[in-house]
Structure 1
């Protein structure tokens, strides 16, 4: 059962990262079209209206979308300065502490994002030019943060399992 859950959580993390990548490509496309429009302004073309707003929303989504992937596949920046000096068990304890801290951080970020989303919805805030409701960006980020919370909780479970059952401890396959 653990292997099935691990596989599904990993797939979910990969899907969110791919969605974030698609969002990033869309941002690149909007930026290129807008810059080209500015360069060709004398020919009747112009920049994409609200390009900065679209880039802000897209980049925000792309950044949030990478969090589950980085957590599941352990690709966050790490400093393993003392790791070689310790044995396997102390390293598994350190891994568990790191996973607990990342889980706490993910939960706090999600909580604060949730409160921000409620605030944006209550006041009906929109972007200046395109009048896009800001709550849409918060909702998209919140959906990804729900996945990030699931991944963070699973990562803690994985670290506990590796500590209790060291023979089952394997590296994450990407």
Structure 2
């Protein structure tokens, strides 16, 4: 059972990270096209900056950041201070990892819940971005996908920490 959950967590985190990377690449392309378009304005060629590029960048960056959170947490790549880790007993280190994972799960749940409520609020008021008139709730919805993935991965990381405390291996041979 654990090996299936581990595989699911790996696939989910990887897919979300790849989607976040694709969004960032899309933002890069749009930004380059907009800058090139601005350069052609004085030449009166007809190209110009992309209207609402700032709005698109803002929404895309938020969605990408939330898409990267599950992969970062699964790989235990968050910033941490390992000042005392070398002199700390292994059991204490594993206990602190468990407490950290429980805390991250709580943060993921609260953050995702607040993101969901914000999306509902923006949708109910039909709020749009200033320039491109993109419905703001769509940015929240895109970020919510990564937030839900973060909750699922954080829950899996708690299970992984409990297994480590029990002395079981991280991966079960299949």
In the other structure, the counterpart of 2:16 is 16
SS at structure 2 position matched to 1:42: coil
In the other structure, the counterpart of 1:124 is 126
In the other structure, the counterpart of 1:41 is 41
In the other structure, the counterpart of 2:100 is 98
Counterpart Cα distance in 1 of 2:55 and 2:108: 26
For structure 2, the residue ranges without an aligned partner over 5 or more in a row are: none
1:1-174 mapped onto 2 (5 Å cutoff): 1-43=1-43, 44=45, 45-164=47-166, 166-169=167-170
Deviations 1:104-130 (A, max 9, x none): 111111111111111001101011222
Shift of residue 33 of structure 1?
0.7
Counterpart Cα distance in 2 of 1:144 and 1:38: 33
Specify whether residues 58 and 38 from structure 1 end up closer, same or farther in structure 2 by C-alpha distance, changes over 3 A only.
same
Counterpart Cα distance in 2 of 1:31 and 1:139: 23
Counterpart Cα distance in 2 of 1:152 and 1:102: 6
Counterpart Cα distance in 2 of 1:82 and 1:107: 29
Shift of residue 79 of structure 1?
0.9
Counterpart Cα distance in 2 of 1:130 and 1:115: 23
Deviations 1:79-117 (A, max 9, x none): 111110112111100110111111111111111111111
SS at structure 2 position matched to 1:100: helix
> What's the TM-score once normalised by structure 1's chain length?
0.93
Shift of residue 35 of structure 1?
0.9
Retained in 1: the 8 A contact 2:127–2:135?
yes
Shift of residue 169 of structure 1?
4.5
> What's the TM-score once normalised by structure 2's chain length?
0.93
Deviations 1:37-72 (A, max 9, x none): 111212232101111111111111111110000111
